[in-house]
Structure 1
Amino acid sequence: MEEIAKLTNGTAMDKHNVSTTLNYWNDPGDGSHPTPIFIGKGRITNERAHNAHHFIVNDITGEEDQHSLDKTGFEYVRHQSCEEDFIDEQSIQLAYYDECKQLLKTVTGANRILIFNHKVRRGPTQWHHLGLYNLKNRGPVTKTHVDQSYFGAELRLRWELPDEADELVKKRYQIVNIWRPIATILKDPIAVADARTVADDDLVEADMTENDFPGKQWVVRHNPEHQWHYKYRMTRQDVLLIKCFDSKTSVARRALHSAFEDAAHRDEESRQSIEVRCLVLYDR
């Protein structure tokens, strides 16, 4: 956080804003539900129709402190990890998970963090089309979405903590993704939308089954009022916290997110990143 403070209190920085397209769900307008997604047995099946819409994605470098989980639904922090390559699964689930839990407790003030999975991405942009066992080449998700709908968040809570869920839903809880580069990000950076510019009417609940968990997420109807942001040239020490759900209704409750193409770096090596999905639990 000290490094962020130095950036925001210093001189104005050159911005690397990007003119690009973001992919939104193609609503057929007949009331039909989005095509379900199935993930498991080494592959993902995603046949939802999306359309590309033009946006300017604004670089927030030097203005990180203007965004927070409760204000805009996302937050950038500086954090040094003991992990470097994120190859050893045991080390990720022990050492890195512990780091993530401490980081979220510090940022949110929550008393308990439960990590329910993580995703490492090193694959090409169009990895979905690689066929059987495409999860071995998992790459960026280039479709606007939120990982859990409001109902989907409760489904996840009840799936992970079935014996406690009836009491936990009476208190505040969140789902927050901790997103970190494994190497400096140039190709296919991640964008997040200011939650204040996204109405609930823009969100459509969709089925996503992963390893037998019957989840529900948000897909998104296009709205030119959405304001998209990112941080240019994120390094391994730049961590993006993305709120997917908050039971508290007086704050930002979710942040749309998507990878996008920056034409200036189209020919760079495939992006490498890790995201850790966390239930954030409070005692009241």
Structure 2
Amino acid sequence: MGEHTEYIARHIKTDLCFGKRLNVDNSAQIEFTKGKQENKHKKMQVLPEKHNVQVRDIRGQESSYTLDKNGFVYLLHEMPELARVSDEEYVKETIIPETESLVRNITGATRTVTFAHRVRCLAEDGALLARNRAPAHSVHSDFTIRGALHNLETVFPDTRERKRLLTGRVLIINVWRPLKPIQRDPLTVCDWSSVNIKAESIPTCVILPNGWNEVGRYAFSPSQRWCYLSAQQPNEPLIFTQFDGSKVDEGGFTVPHSAFVDPEYSDFAARESLEIKMFAFV
């Protein structure tokens, strides 16, 4: 893990944008047309509210965190020629297969199927959704249980195959890797052991021109523990859980995460990162 015996942690106090939990109905629906939000179609929007939190730097303590206990893990893993991420064939033929192999090794999965990948930077309009490449500055998870099962149905439309897959443990894993050392807009993840999903999750159905997804927004709780890895390097990917079929009865396992502002680096060059989302069948 490249842990250090002597390291001064850079814990950061910063504002994170949470969802405001509504008393009457804690669900919301947002529609998008051509990738942009259409206000006239909104049934109800999650109200945002900022809270100042401490984001804890776990540099030097990486091995204390695991997928099963905390919902995330940082690993040392070299990936050759990351500068070629704009080459879609190279991504599909080299980067994705090597990333899937990494996930199989750490989860014990016998099969992995990538269904989405995206390079993030500050190159596009923050109002965009599916095509947006800007860092997401709001606390969210990529799926709820409902959204994950719908995505499984989309990726595996054959009913018999899907039923067979669901007899085992089905995970959705997000692998987030810097393309350059992270300074501006690092990513923070919430230690899953500090999340009360039934009290804090706000399901949000997003309607897109080609389908829908249900993502999770999260309400703030002072018991939440937010973590990041300072000066995260391209060979230090973050792996975190966005669905675990074995935890459905407990309300899910969908780790909240968000980009955040580190005041020391707010004027630095835009952050560049690659995220790869996949099903892992254990």
Normalising by structure 2, we get a TM-score of 0.89
Q: 1:209 to 1:35 in 2, by over 3 A?
A: closer
Inter-partner Cα distance in structure 1 for 2:274 and 2:208:
18
Give the corresponding residue for 1:155. 150
Give the corresponding residue for 1:88. 87
Inter-partner Cα distance in structure 1 for 2:31 and 2:186:
23
Inter-partner Cα distance in structure 1 for 2:147 and 2:27:
15
Pairs within 5 Å for 1:116-155: 116-123=115-122, 127-129=125-127, 138-155=133-150
Give the corresponding residue for 2:41. none
Give the corresponding residue for 2:216. 218
Q: Aligned match of 1:199 in 196, 201, 206?
A: 196
Shift of residue 33 of structure 1? 3.0
Show structure 1 runs of 4+ deviating over 3 A: 46-49, 133-137
Give the corresponding residue for 1:52. 50
Inter-partner Cα distance in structure 2 for 1:268 and 1:73:
30
Contact 2:29/2:206 (CA < 8 Å) preserved in 1?
no
Q: 1:265 to 1:211 in 2, by over 3 A?
A: same
The amino acid that maps onto 2:37 is T
Shift of residue 211 of structure 1? 5.5
Pairs within 5 Å for 1:3-18: 4=1, 6-7=2-3, 10-18=4-12
Shift of residue 34 of structure 1? 2.3
Q: 1:156 to 1:134 in 2, by over 3 A?
A: closer
Give the corresponding residue for 2:229. 231
Contact 1:70/1:253 (CA < 8 Å) preserved in 2?
no
Inter-partner Cα distance in structure 1 for 2:279 and 2:130:
24
Deviations 1:81-123 (A, max 9, x none): 1232211112112211111111111111100000001111111
Q: Aligned match of 2:76 in 66, 78, 98?
A: 78
Identity %: 26
Shift of residue 128 of structure 1? 1.3
Shift of residue 134 of structure 1? 8.0
Which is worse superposed, 183-192 or 157-166?
Answer: 157-166
Q: Does 1:25 align with 2:24?
A: no
Shift of residue 37 of structure 1? 5.0
Deviations 1:188-242 (A, max 9, x none): 0000001011112211211123552321111111111110000001111110001
The amino acid that maps onto 2:113 is L
Shift of residue 15 of structure 1? 0.4
RMSD value, Cα: 2.2
Contact 2:148/2:243 (CA < 8 Å) preserved in 1?
yes
The amino acid that maps onto 2:15 is T
Inter-partner Cα distance in structure 1 for 2:103 and 2:207:
27
The amino acid that maps onto 2:275 is E
Give the corresponding residue for 1:268. 268
Inter-partner Cα distance in structure 1 for 2:26 and 2:196:
20
Contact 1:21/1:52 (CA < 8 Å) preserved in 2?
yes
Shift of residue 253 of structure 1? 2.1
Residue 11 of structure 1 aligns to a residue whose secondary structure is: coil
Deviations 1:54-97 (A, max 9, x none): 10000000100111110100010111112322111121122111
Contact 1:44/1:128 (CA < 8 Å) preserved in 2?
no
Give the corresponding residue for 1:107. 106
The amino acid that maps onto 2:87 is D
Inter-partner Cα distance in structure 1 for 2:129 and 2:217:
22
Q: 1:225 to 1:84 in 2, by over 3 A?
A: same
Q: 1:182 to 1:22 in 2, by over 3 A?
A: same
